[in-house]
């Protein structure tokens, strides 16, 4: 169902005894939006003063003996109730003002700005703005239809997150647009400070995306053509692609059956005199066995770059994954646990030299304007993305907890029949994906699709069998655990806002097929 903006008449039907009886549909509509039922309701900013004015006069009529002070107390309580329950929709600058009815055109413009339909009993508005303005009865029909249909489940539910954080996001966006400081504005520095505080890393350097973050990390380490970097074949292409872009050689090591992360016990066998670094990936949001990996790296004098594109905010032995290894990276791709509204990424390190180099590398290797110490890249995070992340970051710790609660419920229900992902001791996951294994994936996917439940496969083909890596001369059977994972994994919807009911709905379908 589309978002809804409540017209004043609906609100006053609810708060006036005689009108409550006369307009029961308004009561049903108002009550519906007091519950968290996945729908979003707004009040137009232009109506707020009218709310106050009308309420004051209503009280004057109904309770003439109240003092002015008490009357205002009632009015403020009433206003606060509205503002606590509904979001304000601003009047956008692109309003099409109708001089005969400015108020209606303001309400309609606000509705358009938040992609909402207006619920109203105002005949004039209903006639003039057909398609946007609907009656309470029409809305109740929509609600009934929606309740009859199976729940519609969103994979990442960025819309709900946007609704929840709309005031903060709007403020941040207005500030960026007003300063017009779109590249490396103050907000980028502000975000880097906040990321430092959140992770405990000495340096947090934002950049254009999670792929460039890996590239910048290797550039800072001065990885040379022919150097070997050990990583996993069960990951997104960017992990090994960036190694190849550096003209270094990705050397794959198989994964653990239960965590899908690189199997640390197999790393030493892959080390040669050309090996320069190990690049574990914290797949689906959980760090790899970083204690074992670091021990191997120390023993063989290797660097560790953590591809934490999926795991920002996860922990290993109580520390954030951003402080693991020599350099740790992440991605703020919109669907990642902490996502911006475009491309974005960050690099974290406690090493001052790496930090200084990466800061230069992300701006074409420049140490002073138009003076280039290194060959670098155009790898900056833009200010709009920094602003979005500044609005979201204060809420992220709570969202991680919400994701973890959803994952726990999935695991509880699914563990009866499937093999849910395992989180090892002293690690936490931010559940970028909730991925289970099944031998009949196509059947499970088809059943979920029929129930309008979105799924994804992360990832259907291991990197050692990708055409682009043919030159590495790996073959089928080289990494059997990764190959089996590619054939069996299926990711179910996960986001902080999935209700228990939705998780049960998905799980029960999955359980039938596992």
Binding site for ligand PLP (CB under 6 A): 209-211, 235-236, 238-239, 281, 307, 309-310, 331, 333, 343, 345
Element (H, E) at 300: helix 290-300
Query: Between 113 and 207, whose beta carbon lies closer to ligand PLP?
Result: 207
Paired tokens of 164? 């929840």
Element (H, E) at 279: strand 275-279
Nearest approach, Cβ of 348 to ligand PLP (angstroms)?
Answer: 15
The terminus-to-terminus CA distance of the chain in angstroms comes to 32
Nearest approach, Cβ of 205 to ligand PLP (angstroms)?
Answer: 14
Nearest approach, Cβ of 305 to ligand PLP (angstroms)?
Answer: 11
Nearest approach, Cβ of 130 to ligand PLP (angstroms)?
Answer: 43
Nearest approach, Cβ of 372 to ligand PLP (angstroms)?
Answer: 24
Count of other CB atoms within 10 angstroms of residue 300:
13
Query: Between 333 and 341, whose beta carbon lies closer to ligand PLP?
Result: 333
Nearest approach, Cβ of 432 to ligand PLP (angstroms)?
Answer: 8
In whole angstroms, how far apart are CA 319 and each of 267, 303, 314, 413?
23, 19, 8, 30
Position closest to ligand PLP via CB = 210
Nearest approach, Cβ of 309 to ligand PLP (angstroms)?
Answer: 3
Q: Which of 236, 240, 212 is nearest to 228 (CA)?
A: 240
Nearest approach, Cβ of 113 to ligand PLP (angstroms)?
Answer: 29
Q: Which of 469, 451, 468 is nearest to 509 (CA)?
A: 451
How far apart are alpha carbons 191 and 202 in whole angstroms? 14
Query: Between 281 and 503, whose beta carbon lies closer to ligand PLP?
Result: 281
How far apart are alpha carbons 434 and 152 in whole angstroms? 18
Query: Between 294 and 433, whose beta carbon lies closer to ligand PLP?
Result: 433
Residues whose CB is less than 8 angstroms from the CB of residue 29 and which lie 6 or more positions away in sequence, other chains included = 4, 6, 10, 119, 136, 139, 140
Query: Between 459 and 513, whose beta carbon lies closer to ligand PLP?
Result: 459
Query: Between 86 and 333, whose beta carbon lies closer to ligand PLP?
Result: 333
In whole angstroms, how far apart are CA 196 and each of 26, 267, 320?
49, 31, 11
DSSP 317: T
Q: Which of 490, 315, 495, 311 is nearest to 403 (CA)?
A: 495
Query: Between 43 and 281, whose beta carbon lies closer to ligand PLP?
Result: 281
Nearest approach, Cβ of 260 to ligand PLP (angstroms)?
Answer: 11
Query: Between 339 and 376, whose beta carbon lies closer to ligand PLP?
Result: 339
DSSP 256: P
Q: Which of 49, 478, 68 is nearest to 233 (CA)?
A: 478
In whole angstroms, how far apart are CA 132 and each of 97, 159, 452?
16, 20, 27
Query: Between 7 and 212, whose beta carbon lies closer to ligand PLP?
Result: 212
Residues whose CB is less than 8 angstroms from the CB of residue 394 and which lie 6 or more positions away in sequence, other chains included = 168
Query: Between 120 and 331, whose beta carbon lies closer to ligand PLP?
Result: 331
Residues 5-20 as b/e (b if ≥16 CB within 10 A, e otherwise) read bbbbbbbbbbbbeeee
Query: Between 208 and 349, whose beta carbon lies closer to ligand PLP?
Result: 208
What are the helix (H) ranges across 15-150? Answer: 17-22, 24-34, 48-62, 68-85, 102-113, 123-128, 136-148
Paired strand residues for 205: 347
Nearest approach, Cβ of 342 to ligand PLP (angstroms)?
Answer: 10
Nearest approach, Cβ of 311 to ligand PLP (angstroms)?
Answer: 9
Q: Which of 320, 349, 345, 351 is nearest to 199 (CA)?
A: 320
Assign 289 to helix, strand or coil. Answer: coil
């Amino acid at each position: 169902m589309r978002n809804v903006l409540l017209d004043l008449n609906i609100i006053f039907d609810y708060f006036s005894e005689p009108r409550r009886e006369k307009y029961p549909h308004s009561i049903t509509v108002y009550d519906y939006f007091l519950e968290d039922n996945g729908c979003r309701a707004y009040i137009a900013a232009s109506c707020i003063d009218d709310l106050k004015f009308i309420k004051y006069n209503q009280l004057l009529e109904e309770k003439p003996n109240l003092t002015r002070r008490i009357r205002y107390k009632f009015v403020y309580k009433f206003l606060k109730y509205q503002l606590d329950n509904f979001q304000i929709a601003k009047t956008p600058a692109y309003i099409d003002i109708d001089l005969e009815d400015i108020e209606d055109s303001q309400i309609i413009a606000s509705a358009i700005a938040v992609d909402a339909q207006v619920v109203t009993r105002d005949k004039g508005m209903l006639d003039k703005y057909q398609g946007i303005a609907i009656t309470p009865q029409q809305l109740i029909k929509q609600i009934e239809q929606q309740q009859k249909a199976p729940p519609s489940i969103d994979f990442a539910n960025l819309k709900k997150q946007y609704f929840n954080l709309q005031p903060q996001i709007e403020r941040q966006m207005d500030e960026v647009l007003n300063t017009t400081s779109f590249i490396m504005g103050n907000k980028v520095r502000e975000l880097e400070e906040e990321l430092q505080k959140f992770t405990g890393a000495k340096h947090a350097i934002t950049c254009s995306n999670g792929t460039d973050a890996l590239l910048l990390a290797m550039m800072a380490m001065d990885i040379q053509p022919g150097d070997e970097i050990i990583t996993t074949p069960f990951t997104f292409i960017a992990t090994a692609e960036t190694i190849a872009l550096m003209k270094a050689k990705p050397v794959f090591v198989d994964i653990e059956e239960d965590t899908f992360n690189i199997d640390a016990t197999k790393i030493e066998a892959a080390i040669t005199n050309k090996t320069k670094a190990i690049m574990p990936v914290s797949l689906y949001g959980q760090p790899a066995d970083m204690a074992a990996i670091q021990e191997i790296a120390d023993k063989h004098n290797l660097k560790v770059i953590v591809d934490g594109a999926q795991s920002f905010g996860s922990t290993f032995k109580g520390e954030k994954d951003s402080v693991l290894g020599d350099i740790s990276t992440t991605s703020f791709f919109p669907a990642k646990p902490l996502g911006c509204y475009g491309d974005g990424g960050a690099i974290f390190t406690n090493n001052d030299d790496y930090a200084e180099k990466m800061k230069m590398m992300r701006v074409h290797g420049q140490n002073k304007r138009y003076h280039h110490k290194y060959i670098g890249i155009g790898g900056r995070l833009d200010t709009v993305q920094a602003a979005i992340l500044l609005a979201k970051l204060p809420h992220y710790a709570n969202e991680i907890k919400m994701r973890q609660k959803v994952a726990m419920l999935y695991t509880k229900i699914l563990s009866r029949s499937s093999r849910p992902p395992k989180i090892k001791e002293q690690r936490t996951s931010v559940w970028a994906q909730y991925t289970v294994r099944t031998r009949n994936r196509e059947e499970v996917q088809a059943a979920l699709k029929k129930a309008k439940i979105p799924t994804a496969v992360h990832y259907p083909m291991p990197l050692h069998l990708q055409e682009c890596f043919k030159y590495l001369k790996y073959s089928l059977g080289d990494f059997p655990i990764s190959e089996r994972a590619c054939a069996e994994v299926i990711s179910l919807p996960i986001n902080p806002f999935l209700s228990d009911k939705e998780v049960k709905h998905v799980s029960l379908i999955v359980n039938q097929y596992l």
